[in-house]
């Protein structure tokens, strides 16, 4: 249980919000999409803070998974299930941070950290790279980061169904949650008010 609590608390650290606030650029929740994630930080506060936010949010999902898999010396009967629960706790912490009145980011970077941690940095890194490639392709074609994020995870769900079915339901449910968290983005895209990324 302690792993789940610590994972949730790590995930709940509002990195984008804190970085922008400490840098003296105000409350990121008052600008752009009002989201504390890396994309909004990049738009409002520049590439450096955006990249740092991305890496820290990614680490919030990656670190607890890696620690549990490689450094926990205990024997667990349902280790794979517990690993997914740890990842879920980190993602939910990021999405519903108790430090921001249960509001937070949309969970994409933290989810990617969880995915890479679960799949492993060696044998399955190709899957992570495929997901990243789909994200890049969708964003390049549409200029919408939100669509790239959701479609890349949808690709992962289909891929997991055929090649590592034991994680299919986990990725499916997380993707549904992230897709739901992007509902405001869909509305802005529909009304042609969503910010497009430039290359």
| Closest CA relative to residue 13, chosen from 86, 94, 91, 96 | 94
- What span, in angstroms and rounded, lies between the C-alpha atoms of 85 and 1? 10
- What span, in angstroms and rounded, lies between the C-alpha atoms of 49 and 5? 28
Give the pLDDT confidence score for residue 24 in this predicted structure. 93
| Closest CA relative to residue 53, chosen from 17, 28, 93, 7 | 17
Which tokens go with 3? 């792993």
Give the pLDDT confidence score for residue 8 in this predicted structure. 97
Give the pLDDT confidence score for residue 23 in this predicted structure. 93
Dihedrals phi, psi of 23, to nearest 5 degrees: -75, -5
Give the pLDDT confidence score for residue 178 in this predicted structure. 95
Q: Cβ(135)–Cβ(178) under 8 Å? A: no
Give the pLDDT confidence score for residue 76 in this predicted structure. 67
| Closest CA relative to residue 89, chosen from 174, 8, 1, 169 | 8
One digit per residue, pLDDT tens: the chain, 199 residues? 788 999 999 999 999 999 999 999 999 999 988 899 999 999 899 999 999 999 999 999 999 999 988 887 666 667 888 999 999 999 999 999 999 999 999 999 999 999 888 887 555 677 878 888 999 999 999 999 999 999 999 999 998 898 878 889 999 999 999 999 999 999 999 999 888 877 6
């Amino acid at each position: 249980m302690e792993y789940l609590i610590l994972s949730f608390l790590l995930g709940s650290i509002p990195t984008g919000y804190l970085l922008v606030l400490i840098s003296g650029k105000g409350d990121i929740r008052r600008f752009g999409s009002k989201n504390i994630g890396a994309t909004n930080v990049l738009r409002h506060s520049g590439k450096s803070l955006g990249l740092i936010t991305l890496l820290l949010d990614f680490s919030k999902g990656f670190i607890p998974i890696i620690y549990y898999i490689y450094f926990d010396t205990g024997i667990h009967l349902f280790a794979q299930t517990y690993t997914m629960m740890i990842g879920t706790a980190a993602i939910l912490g990021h999405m519903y941070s108790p430090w921001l009145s249960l509001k937070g980011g949309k969970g994409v970077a933290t989810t990617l950290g969880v995915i890479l941690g679960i799949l492993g940095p060696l044998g399955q890194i190709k899957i992570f790279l495929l997901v990243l490639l789909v994200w890049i392709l969708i964003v390049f074609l549409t200029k919408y980061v939100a669509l790239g994020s959701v479609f890349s995870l949808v690709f992962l769900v289909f891929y997991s169904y055929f090649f590592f079915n034991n994680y299919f339901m986990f990725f499916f449910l997380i993707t549904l949650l992230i897709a739901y968290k992007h509902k405001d983005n869909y509305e802005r895209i529909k009304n042609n008010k969503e910010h497009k990324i430039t290359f």
